[in-house]
Chain A
Amino acid sequence: MKVKLSDMKLRETGTIQSIKTENLHDMRILEMGFVQGEKITVTGFAPLGDPMEVRILDYSISLRKSDSENILIQTGKQA
């Protein structure tokens, strides 16, 4: 099942499918390790639900909803 990273729930896990790369800002997120096939886990949300904290490539990083919306994740058992 494909979902946006921003729609994922706490402690949910998946692998990265694709990420929008329109500008330098997006490219940098890609270079931080948000590449196709990497495993990603949602580890927390700030009190107002944004930003979210994720674990990827064995490190933790937080990103805003405006960015996590552009990242597609493959979750759950593959059909």
Chain B
Amino acid sequence: MNITVALTGNPNAGKTSLFNLLSGSRERVANYPGITVEKKIGHAQWKDNSFSFYDLPGTYSLSAVSAEEMVTSDFLTGRTGLTADVILFVADSLALARNLYLLTQVAESGKPVIAVLSKTLEARANGKQIDLQKLSRLSGISFIDSAGNPLEVREQIFTAIVNVARQKYKQTVPDFYSKEDAIAIATAQEILQAAGTAMHPAEIFMLLSGEPKTKKEILELWHNHVGLLYPGKWRRQRRSQNKWHNQLDPLNPGKWRRQRRNQNKWHNQLDLLNPSKWHRQRRNQNKWHNQLDPLYPEKRKEVLSALEKIAGQKASQNGYAESVRRRYAWIDSIVEQSVTLDKPDKKTLTSKMDKILMSRIFGPVIFLGIFTVLFEAIYTWSAPLMGLIESGIALLQQGASALLSRLPMFHDLVVDGIIGGAGSVLVFLPQIVILFAFIAVLEESGYLSRASYLTDKFVSWSGLSGKSFIPMLSGFACSIPGIMAARTIPNRTARIATILTVPLVSCASRLPVYMLFISAFIQPVYGNAAAAFTFLLMNSLGALLTLPVAWIIGKKFLQPSPTPFLLEMPDYRIPNLRSVYDRMTEAGRDFLKQAGTIIFIFSIIIWSLSYFPRAQNATAAAQLEQSYLGRAGKFVQPVFAPMDFDWKTTIGIVAAFPARELLVSTLGILYESEATADEFSSLSEKLAAEKSHSPASAMALIVFFALSAQCVATLVTVRQETASLRYALALFFYMTALAWLLSWLTYVTLNAVGLG
């Protein structure tokens, strides 16, 4: 028997560990278009049954407040053509009542539900005894304890799943709506069915009973969501899927796997439709295809007008609050009867620890200590590893260089283009992996929520929350891990605003540029103190701008997300090594697979632009000057003329588009000095001697480099993490414009006050 199981539960309820326990082979699946939900599918065999586990994103309620949360109700209603046979609900026993709230909604969908109680050992340590039999009997849902021998637990869960899948029973829960509301919901369901879609009763009831503002928000959410249900690109997708169908031998699933690996793109599309059951899957796909009306804009309109019709109806006065109260009343009575507390007022370990860790004096001190270590780790500990990667790349380049010395063009392509390009990707890996190890430990231990709690007030005015703190801080080492760390922010608006502002923070690769120009133009004229001050100022300039810019972006350009800042403060616990390891490898793999390939391609393109066209017998400087890249640099020179940048500098600016620090080596070539990023005293002397910049112009250049988006890897990562090219382009244009503007202001101001 093939059984599809969906794992749901509150965020941090312990879904991931259960998923790991149950599924042998695992795969990660592409995001839904436009939203950034990580979706994992696991597979397992048990006796004669094969299971597919879908790990759905954690949520507190099925009345979604964001596109990300709608994924769960999509699955429960089957409105995307994809649904589960059995729902496996993970209930955190440390916050049992609140977890049961979602369970009442999940059970309402009528699908068979099995609940697994997580963190029961911790609950017991807190003096809380949960009577599973009573809980199951009173709620009508079977509960399984996750504590105990993992193999036995696994056996128990599989047995339960197979049993309920065989019985095909309809899960029932008490009715939490008044009679007239229940009728209104049923009517709405009919309207939706006629329009070819479905909603969960809780969703419908929110739409029926909400205040006008709530209704408007839900309709807006759906406005975007129907795009997912009826994607405009469906024709193209279907064509490519059919192509893929024909290539697959439907009778040879073994070959299928191998082919699948080769065709990642189709693979991802197919996985949305359940990979383990090929025949049924294909049937499902056809069903799904048929659901896609060729006239999809009409289909969308139909769904939306059905929703509007429902929104036009009214439920009983105060209906939603009343239904929530009824659910909790039911839950409270069950919890009261099935949970016993040893000592009702026993101080838990967590509350004891919080006495110190969250105290007004020690709290911030410990916080600063932890984050100094974190920052040191990504900044300093990664250095030897990055050095190792760099020297490995250099070694490879030497080897290739020796091998290919007879083929000059091929030599340059392989050595500078390919190996150099791969190096520019790999070098970020240590920082990403170290940062994610820290985040995983902090999150699992329960401290991350507390860190957000401590810092929230400092950033809340800008529309961000305390959760943006780690991404911002990581930005000082490198924007890329910082952008990836924004995954921990559940509010979409805050997450995008964070992603778009982290790159302003002065990262490590800006340092060589600051140092070169400060030592060439500022230090000789104004002395050491001014040089040190400038250095410090440039390092903090971007960070100071992040919050105001985030405020503007959030207020003017993004739709406010209704996800409230509700921070659960989980009990402290010892991090699970397995999940820390998983988080590290996932982040590293994501980066290499998704961003890495594009960065690599970009490096080769940029390399070719500097290599072609070839000049006869030219010096390196002359070659670069007349290459496409050089021509582009000269072409944009007028744009930078107001700040008095000459063409050599603007070639440097263009050449530094892939990565800022390339400015140094490009100028090194153009000034025909032997400068490298580490050793540029001769270059800085040359620059100073040629007086290519006045101090004001040099400052303007430094400011430009402090704020501009000169980093392909950053742009690509933004594209990957937001699943939208739009944000990457927005980032590039706003940062470049901001950089130019402040650069020009710096130039004008310095000249006006006579420091030019």
Contacts and interface: CB of A to CB of B under 8 A. Distances in A.
Nearest to A57: B97
Nearest to B211: A22
A57 B95 contact: yes
Interface stretch (A1-9, A30-38, A71-79): A30-38
Which of under 10, 10 to 19, 20 to 34, or 35 or more describes the interface residues of B? 35 or more
Nearest to B455: A46
B158 interface: no
B456 interface: yes
Interface stretch (B44-52, B321-329, B624-632): B321-329
Contacts of A50: 456-457, 460
B95 A51 contact: no
A32 B566 contact: yes
B562 A24 contact: yes
B358 A37 contact: no
B499 to A, nearest CB: 22
Interface string B327-365: 011000000000000000000000100100010100110
B569 A51 contact: no
Contacts of A29: 564, 566
Interface in A1-56: 19, 21-33, 35-38, 43-44, 46-51, 53
Contact of B569 (A27, A58, A61): A61
Interface stretch (B57-65, B381-389, B432-440, B599-607): B57-65
A24 B218 contact: yes
A46 B456 contact: yes
B564 A31 contact: no
Nearest to B560: A25
A38 B97 CA distance: 11
Contacts of B569: 53, 60-62
Contact of B320 (A27, A32, A33): A27
A58 B95 contact: yes
Contacts of B321: 19, 21, 30, 35-36
B456 to A, nearest CB: 5
B457 A46 contact: yes
A63 B567 CA distance: 7
B169 interface: no
A63 B354 CA distance: 17
A48 B426 CA distance: 42
Contacts of A22: 211, 213-214
B635 interface: no
Contacts of A62: 449, 453, 456, 566-567, 569
A33 to B, nearest CB: 5
B562 A25 contact: yes
B364 A28 contact: no
B98 interface: yes
Interface string B193-215: 00000000000001000110110
A24 B217 contact: yes
Contacts of A44: 354, 358
Interface in B90-107: 94-98, 101
A28 B360 CA distance: 29
B453 A46 contact: yes
Nearest to A52: B453
B562 A23 contact: yes
A35 B325 contact: yes
A61 to B, nearest CB: 5
B453 to A, nearest CB: 5
A62 B54 CA distance: 30
A28 B354 CA distance: 26
Given A25-B564, A28-B60, A36-B325, A58 B97 contact: yes
B211 A32 contact: no
A27 to B, nearest CB: 6
B94 A59 contact: yes
Contact of A63 (B65, B324, B566): B566
Interface string B403-432: 000000000000000000000000000000
Nearest to B64: A24
A36 B218 CA distance: 25
A58 B350 CA distance: 13
Given A24-B217, A24-B218, A44-B354, A31 B566 contact: no
Interface of A: 19, 21-33, 35-38, 43-44, 46-51, 53, 57-64, 67
Given A23-B214, A27-B206, A30-B324, 5 more contacts: A22-B211, A44-B358, A57-B98, A58-B95, A63-B565
The 10 closest A-B pairs by CB, nearest first: A59-B95, A24-B562, A60-B569, A48-B457, A57-B97, A25-B562, A62-B567, A31-B61, A23-B213, A35-B325
26 contacts: A21-B320, A21-B321, A24-B214, A24-B217, A25-B563, A27-B320, A28-B566, A29-B564, A29-B566, A32-B60, A33-B98, A44-B354, A50-B456, A51-B453, A51-B456, A51-B457, A51-B565, A53-B358, A53-B453, A57-B97, A58-B94, A58-B97, A59-B95, A59-B97, A60-B569, A63-B564
